[in-house]
């Protein structure tokens, strides 16, 4: 399986800018599959309140995806849907038609990223 570029600056311009300024995130890419898209971000540090909101949003999305009345349910991945904690390593599996929406959400969160190794402590800036 070919992985593609580690930094997709076309899809993630805000994450690319954040990486140039703060040196994080380390990897950001979207890998299209037949019916789904895998979104991978490594080194994604955002304030805990925003991370909790995004995690809750993704949990609701997965819950909707698994509903018996959802036609896209047949595309739900057998291997799981990734890590949705939105702290450090983020691996999302989304329906291919919804990938742009998730990419936009992650680009909107990009200005809030911080490099936790520059802070001297493992917490978000005040």
- For residue 78, the number of C-alpha atoms closer than 13 Å in the C-beta half-sphere is 0
Q: Phi, psi (5° rounding) for residue 50?
A: -70, -40
Name the pTM for this structure.
Answer: 0.85
Question: 37-95 pLDDT, tens per residue?
Answer: 999 999 899 999 999 999 999 999 999 999 999 999 999 988 878 778 898 899 999 99
Could you tell me the residue ranges of all domains in the chain?
A: 21-112
């Amino acid at each position: 399986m070919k992985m593609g570029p580690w930094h997709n600056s076309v899809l993630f311009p805000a994450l690319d800018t954040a990486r140039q300024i703060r040196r994080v995130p380390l990897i950001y890419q979207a890998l299209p599959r037949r019916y789904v898209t895998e979104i991978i971000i490594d080194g994604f540090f955002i304030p805990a309140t925003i991370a909790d909101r995004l995690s809750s949003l993704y949990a609701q999305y997965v819950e909707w995806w698994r509903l018996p009345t959802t036609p896209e349910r047949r595309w739900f991945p057998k291997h799981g849907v990734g890590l949705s904690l939105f702290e450090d390593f983020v691996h999302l599996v989304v329906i291919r038609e919804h990938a742009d929406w998730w990419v936009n959400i992650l680009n909107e969160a990009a200005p809030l990223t911080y490099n936790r190794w520059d802070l001297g402590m493992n917490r978000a800036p005040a």
